[in-house]
């Protein structure tokens, strides 16, 4: 492999990405020991890897499992994805280790909006960055299709139930053949079992059983299933549907979320097999009947079709870094409403492909209080895996903000404090880092702090962070410069990770599943966030078709049988508390939970803690103003 | 290639398709003379073919160009797609000709609804049928993303214009750098040119120019751009958006169409290159300013981003038939609102790959009055190609219905008249076939009638059709049984097509472009449909965000400079007239046009002639009840 040709000053991400010469994905696959039948090419630079690879390698010892998390994020950006990629380039291309990077697929929405792409940055990127950021291998499109098919099934069913008699519904759901015989579709047997009806011949149902079978009797006020698009379309947040004349006045308030916020995406991230995904999709709860019984996708007859739409999406996508190391891109669940972690199956495949001497580096979204907490308490609980090391990414600039530095405003020049040495601000901000380190240790995971160096950082500032990290209990702390140097800039970090992975881990969850929902939420809020207490607010949701008011929901979800699920917190990423302005390491506060939703398919209760947009908007000058194609070469211009 | 193993009675489509052993797509490509760099694999059984292939083969003589159309459709189904595929299997696998089939990609919506898949049927199918019917290579998902990004851009821009001053808008659209310098994004230069502003430095604009530049001043009442999903979701036909608190009361009535009804799909079908697609996407008109000036995607700054989303979709997808002959699947524009024909670029590539001795068979949607009319007057006008032969598919059963046979009701047993010999009904119905033949001759195209034989047809009935076809001016008429026999059942038809392709064609359009819009619509209605006159109705549209009332629109679209475009008729497919119940060959009627829309990017004016649903609904028992995955094998179950 040719060494990376690094240029100073660092060119734009897309310039670096497009100047790179990726090797054919078949070469990347071959180096991993994959055979032709183990993957399906999508063009010459992407491939989908079959789940069977994991099962074929079941007897191979797994590699070391490293999760990359961050301090509490700030508008300055901490470079977590970039560090994840740079660390792997160092391990693979500079230290000769077998390494696989596992990252999330980004939503396409922000690519055209304000954020730009998400393939890392500088000389630490996944390439081709255009393909990583757009369409990729269609997984998010499949999620959109599945989510919206289920939504269409809900409103259509309510419409047909409202306009037809029991007999008419029954005749349509189980139409007679020429001899008057009828049959249940296989999916209907699931609903019959739920209703406790044992008849296998539709003609044997009593009139009461027929009625129970054909009438889901969905209470429109309880519907939490929203439609999705992978577009930043804020005008779809709250809408009224069914206003066409043919829909006979059956209007309803609802809305769209961004596709990555969908429960189908959440399911993709935590499923462990095609059979498991089929069951999870069928179990999705879309709302309740008027009698208070949860209504599922399988009650609507659509669980199998959702699985068919998702059957290719369950295969992770193989790509490569700028230094030809392999990357598995898979799932990209929203980090507030869902886990914010890439898929279990990608990590499982990667650990087997890495083998005993290898390394798998996976990234957790947002700060460690959200991404790593969910990684441990949800993802690892469902995967059965546990990490050997947590990397916590910090920057001098962000720590200064946590230490009381002035606000950062987009479009305004950065304050002097962030560009010149200020050891006191840095040291004050290290309380944030220290809290995240303590949390990692509470999970029983050895910790390496990655100090992502910026040009304005001074050696003394970096040293403060290192000192404070070790004092807070980190096993190691290393400065990294992978943005400007690629893997060569992260060799120290990689060596620290290698050493730390040799240390014993003693992984444990924050809470056992048999606590009540209330106790589980309290455990996360007090142990991980530093709250003194939790308040379950009586405020209702602002948008239609969201969750249930929190206090009532604790009781009703428990009664419906969901009390044994883990809890997925939906809170601001900008603070340990509910208040995004509370930087550093706030403590003693009352943590507020506004509403709960059940994600029965994904397998958790969502605790919504404050307002959060489930579909971003576009700014006045969206990124799309610069995006175009050079018609002569087909090259994409202006992606960032 | 092993001969097709045909079983009686014919198994279900999915059983036949899944029992087939497709050859690797690389083999199909190699047999066509494609090199590795000419295509990108999508899995082992699909590939996207690069447009450069066409240009590389520019000097190769083109093959014969055959368009398959149908009589006026009936609920009985005429088997046009099946005939298209069967004819090609006969030409390629039985007569040793080089042949390429060009078909549309089906919408995923109906696959889960009432219609089922669209890959042909019986022993004449495109395989794998699951991949053909679901996702394929993501083109429709790209169309969805592009259409909805443009929609989000519209509402966001109106919101920002409503809440910001000229200066604030200008500062955001052209933000100052550290030295106060500003630059226009390249796409902004297009808007400046339209406004007649020649300044290239934003700081040189006068306050009036600034205001004109930053304010599109879209009149919400004129917006015709609707969002899309590839889902049968009737509750999205008419909706109100913008009801979230953050949208500050800027609600608006609009709706969703099915993705294949989108203008972006129409553009994909008629574009001829990446550069051409860029221009068409930028030219899309989404509505007018309050001053009556059309507002385009490029005015919104988003034409380039739409192109980036569509850059892979412009490459046709290579698949194969059950007898290993090559198929190019590309574009699937709705046949009422758009052309209902597969793409120009696929046909162009296919004609070059076929070469002088080869054949390209392309299918036109609906009956020949719609699909073939648009093929000739729109698709061929934009491609510069002209057909050597038109195949018109007819069945005895459908002709009986056109001859006055009783209505066919879904779920009710078929009337006796359709299952026993009735020569008078057949002969009476041949007026429909005769009208379509006369129309083809008016286009100057030689005609072969394909009589798609059903088990209940008698020899005498088939002979009546043959006689009447020849009497009406068809060059040949042949009975075909490709559904049950594959290509072997269509050898007579294939030979008839080969002979007819040797005859001289004298292609001409129904109207020249320099007629007025009114005269063009009258030409189609009177010459093709048999109307006596055309009435431009003053009725308004039922759904929000549709077209303009027809009479007023003739004037306003002409004034806006769209008078020179061809016309795309949106009428019922079940009759030559507006009345779906008027079977046979009605004449002397007044043809009614309700509203007009401009598809400035696709390049036509749409004349909406009656109510038509742009997004289908789901029945009480949708096809999804039977659709599932076998978790053990990953095999799709229950697709039809």
Chain segment B43-70, per-residue pLDDT in tens: 999 999 999 999 999 999 999 999 999 9
SS3 A75: coil
* Beta-sheet pairing, A99-103 with A359-363: parallel
Backbone angles phi, psi at B67, to 5 degrees: -110, 130
A537 DSSP assignment:
-
From the number of C-beta atoms within 10 Å of its C-beta (0-12, 13-18, 19+), residue A177 rates as exposed
Q: Look at residue A117 in the predicted model and tell me its pLDDT.
A: 63
Q: How far is CA B343 from the centre of its chain?
A: 8
Beta bridge partners, B359, equal B64, B99
Helix axis angle for A166-173 and A139-163, nearest 10°, is 140
Residues B418-465 have pLDDT tens digits of 999 999 999 999 999 999 999 999 999 999 999 999 999 999 999 999
Reading the block at residue B214, the tokens are 């930053």
Instruction: Please report which confidence band the pLDDT of residue B611 belongs to, taking 50, 70 and 90 as the band edges.
Output: confident
Q: Residue B39: in which H helix or E strand, if any?
A: strand B39-41
> In b/e form, how buried is each residue of A372-388, taking b as 16+ CB within 10 angstroms?
bbbbbbbbbbbbebbbb
Contact B511, B519 (CB under 8 A): yes
Query: Mean pLDDT, to the nearest integer, of B602-613?
Result: 90
Q: Look at residue A463 in the predicted model and tell me its pLDDT.
A: 98
Q: Look at residue A542 in the predicted model and tell me its pLDDT.
A: 55
Residues of A in contact with B629 (CB under 8 A): 274, 278, 304, 307-308, 311
Q: Kindly report the CA angle at B551 between B548 and B553, in degrees rounded to 5?
A: 40
pTM over 0.95: yes
CA distance A252 to A156: 12
Write out the DSSP string of A124-182: EEEESHHHHHTTTTSHHHHHHHHHHHHHHHHHHHHHHHHHS-HHHHHHHHS---TTS--
| CB neighbourhood size of A75 (10 A) | 11
Average model confidence (pLDDT) across chain A: 94
Q: Look at residue B543 in the predicted model and tell me its pLDDT.
A: 57
Q: How far is CA A217 from the centre of its chain?
A: 33
Write out the DSSP string of A320-361: EETTS-EEEE-----TTTS--B--HHHHHHHHHHH-TT-EEE
Residues of A in contact with B241 (CB under 8 A): 235-236, 239
CA distance to partner chain A, nearest, from residue B336 (Å): 20
Q: Is A240 on the interface with B (CB under 8 A)?
A: yes
Residue B601 has pLDDT above 80, yes or no: yes
Using CB atoms, which residue from A187, A238, A618 is nearest to B625? Answer: A187
Q: Look at residue B375 in the predicted model and tell me its pLDDT.
A: 98
CA distance B139 to A252: 31
Q: Look at residue B115 in the predicted model and tell me its pLDDT.
A: 65
Listed in sequence order, the residues at least 6 apart from A116 whose beta carbon sits closer than 8 Å to its beta carbon are: A110, A623, A639, A640
- CB interface of B with A, residues 169-198, below 8 Å: 169, 172-173, 175, 178, 185-188
pLDDT beneath 50, residues of chain A: none
Q: Kindly report the CA angle at A152 between A151 and A155, in degrees rounded to 5?
A: 90
Write out the DSSP string of B401-447: HHTTPPP--TTSPPPGGGTS--HHHHHHHHHHHHHHHHHHHHTT--E
From the number of C-beta atoms within 10 Å of its C-beta (0-12, 13-18, 19+), residue B591 rates as buried
CB atoms A628 and B304 under 8 Å: yes
CA distance A214 to A510: 43
> In b/e form, how buried is each residue of A409-426, taking b as 16+ CB within 10 angstroms?
eeeeeeeebbeeebeebb
- By CA distance, what is A273's nearest residue in B? B631
CA distance B495 to B131: 31
CB atoms B234 and A152 under 8 Å: yes
Listed in sequence order, the residues at least 6 apart from A424 whose beta carbon sits closer than 8 Å to its beta carbon are: A403
CA distance to partner chain B, nearest, from residue A456 (Å): 18
Q: Look at residue A314 in the predicted model and tell me its pLDDT.
A: 98
Q: Among B149, B122, B92, which residue's Cα sits nearest to residue B16?
A: B122
Residues B369-407 have pLDDT tens digits of 999 999 999 999 999 999 999 999 999 999 999 999 999
ipTM rounded to 2 decimals: 0.96
Reading the block at residue A241, the tokens are 């549907």
Using CB atoms, which residue from B42, B141, B156 is nearest to A42? Answer: B42
CA distance B249 to B243: 6
SS3 A501: helix
């Amino acid at each position: 492999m040719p060494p990376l040709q690094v240029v100073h000053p660092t060119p734009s991400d897309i310039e670096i990405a497009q100047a790179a010469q990726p090797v054919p994905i078949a070469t990347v696959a071959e180096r991993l020991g994959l055979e032709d039948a183990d993957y399906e090419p999508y063009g010459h630079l992407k491939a989908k890897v079959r789940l069977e690879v994991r099962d074929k390698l079941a007897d191979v010892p797994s590699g070391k499992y490293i999760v990359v998390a961050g301090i509490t994020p700030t508008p300055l950006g901490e470079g977590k994805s970039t560090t994840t990629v740079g660390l792997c380039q160092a391990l693979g291309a500079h230290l000769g280790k077998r390494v696989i990077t596992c990252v999330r697929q980004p939503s396409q929405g922000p690519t055209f909006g304000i954020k730009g792409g998400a393939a890392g940055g500088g000389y630490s990127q996944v390439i081709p960055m255009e393909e990583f950021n757009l369409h990729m291998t269609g997984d998010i499109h499949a999620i959109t299709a599945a989510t919206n098919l289920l939504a269409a099934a809900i409103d259509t069913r309510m419409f047909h139930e409202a306009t037809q008699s029991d007999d008419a519904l029954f005749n349509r759901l189980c139409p007679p053949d020429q001899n008057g015989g009828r049959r249940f579709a296989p999916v209907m047997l699931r609903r019959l079992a739920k209703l406790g009806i044992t008849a296998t011949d539709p003609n044997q149902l009593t009139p009461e059983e027929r009625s129970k079978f054909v009438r889901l009797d969905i209470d429109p006020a309880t519907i939490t299933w929203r439609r999705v698009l992978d577009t930043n379309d804020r005008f779809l947040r709250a809408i009224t549907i069914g206003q066409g004349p043919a829909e006979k006045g059956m209007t309803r308030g609802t809305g769209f979320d961004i596709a990555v916020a969908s429960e189908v995406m959440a399911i993709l991230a935590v499923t462990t097999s095609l059979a498991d995904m089929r069951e999870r999709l069928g179990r999705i709860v879309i709302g309740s009947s008027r009698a208070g019984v949860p209504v599922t996708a399988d009650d609507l007859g659509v669980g199998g079709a959702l699985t068919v739409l998702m059957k290719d999406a369950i295969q992770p996508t193989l790509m490569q870094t700028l230094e030809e190391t392999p990357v598995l891109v898979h799932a990209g669940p929203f980090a507030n409403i869902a886990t914010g972690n890439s898929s279990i199956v990608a990590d499982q495949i990667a650990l087997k492909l890495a083998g005993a001497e290898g390394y798998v580096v996976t990234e957790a979204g947002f700060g460690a209080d959200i991404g790593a907490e969910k990684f441990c308490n949800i993802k690892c609980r469902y995967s059965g895996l546990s990490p050997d090391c947590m990397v916590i990414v910090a920057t001098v600039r962000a720590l200064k903000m946590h230490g009381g530095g002035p606000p950062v405003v987009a479009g305004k020049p950065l304050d002097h404090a962030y560009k010149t040495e200020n050891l006191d601000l840095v040291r004050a901000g290290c309380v944030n880092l220290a809290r995240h380190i303590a949390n990692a240790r509470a999970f029983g995971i050895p910790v390496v702090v990655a100090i992502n160096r910026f040009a304005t950082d001074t050696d003394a500032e970096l040293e403060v962070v290192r000192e404070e990290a070790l004092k807070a209990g980190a096993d190691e702390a290393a400065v990294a410069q992978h943005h400007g140097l690629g893997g060569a800039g992260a060799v120290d970090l990689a060596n620290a990770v290698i050493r730390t992975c040799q240390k014993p881990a003693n992984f444990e969850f924050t809470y056992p599943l048999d606590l009540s929902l209330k106790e589980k939420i309290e455990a996360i809020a007090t142990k991980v966030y530093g709250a003194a207490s939790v308040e379950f607010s009586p405020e209702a949701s602002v948008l239609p078709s969201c969750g249930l008011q929190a206090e009532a929901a604790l009781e009703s979800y428990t009664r419906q049988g969901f009390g044994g699920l883990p809890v997925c917190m939906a809170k601001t990423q900008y603070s340990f508390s509910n208040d995004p302005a509370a930087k550093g390491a706030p403590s003693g506060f009352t943590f507020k939970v506004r509403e709960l939703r059940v994600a029965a398919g994904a397998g958790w209760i969502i605790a919504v803690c404050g307002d959060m947009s489930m579909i971003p908007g576009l700014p006045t000058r969206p990124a799309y103003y610069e995006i175009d194609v050079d018609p002569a070469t087909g090259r994409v211009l202006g992606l960032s």
